[in-house]
């Protein structure tokens, strides 16, 4: 509880936690579909179906250029990756399974770092 409040209050600390977590997400073996923006020229329908694309490299760029005011705005973008993946991919598909695996990993690590 105290750690969570601390991380929430001082945004720099909160954002340091975000950097740690983003590095772990990018290093995960199931991160491959989410490392860079989906190439909508190579993936028919993607641009039409997914209104707000997001990926780990975009989140990293936003972190580096100070576009997240706090850890909550960071969480919104991470969850957008998983929501887009569930919307566009069957649960029983390579990418669908990777998305579920990454979401489970993220939720667990976030809880450990902030609770």
Ligand X SMILES: Cn1cc(C(=O)NCCN)ccc1=O
Q: Pick the stretch among 20-28, 62-70, 84-92, 107-115 that binds ligand X (CB under 6 A).
A: 84-92
How far apart are alpha carbons 75 and 86 in whole angstroms? 17
Among 89, 97, 101, 110, binds ligand X (CB under 6 A): 89
Supply the minimum distance, in Å, between the C-beta of residue 10 and ligand X. 33
Residues 6+ apart with CB under 8 A from 3: 113, 114, 115
Which residue shows structure tokens 């490392």? 35
User: Does residue 49 touch ligand X according to CB under 6 A?
Assistant: no
Per DSSP, the chain holds a count of helices (H) and strands (E) of: 6, 0
User: Does residue 43 touch ligand X according to CB under 6 A?
Assistant: yes
Q: Which residues bind ligand X (CB under 6 A)?
A: 32-34, 38, 43, 85, 88-89, 95
């Amino acid at each position: 509880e105290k750690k969570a409040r601390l991380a929430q209050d001082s945004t720099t600390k909160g954002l340091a936690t975000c950097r740690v977590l983003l590095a772990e997400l990018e290093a995960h073996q199931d991160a491959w579909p989410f490392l860079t923006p989906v190439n909508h020229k190579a993936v028919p329908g993607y641009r039409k179906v997914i209104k707000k694309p997001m990926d780990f490299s975009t989140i990293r760029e936003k972190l580096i250029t100070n576009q997240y005011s706090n850890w909550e705005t960071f969480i919104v973008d991470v969850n957008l990756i998983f929501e887009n993946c569930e919307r566009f991919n069957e649960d029983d598909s390579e990418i669908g399974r990777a998305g579920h695996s990454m979401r489970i990993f993220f939720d667990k690590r976030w809880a450990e770092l902030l609770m």
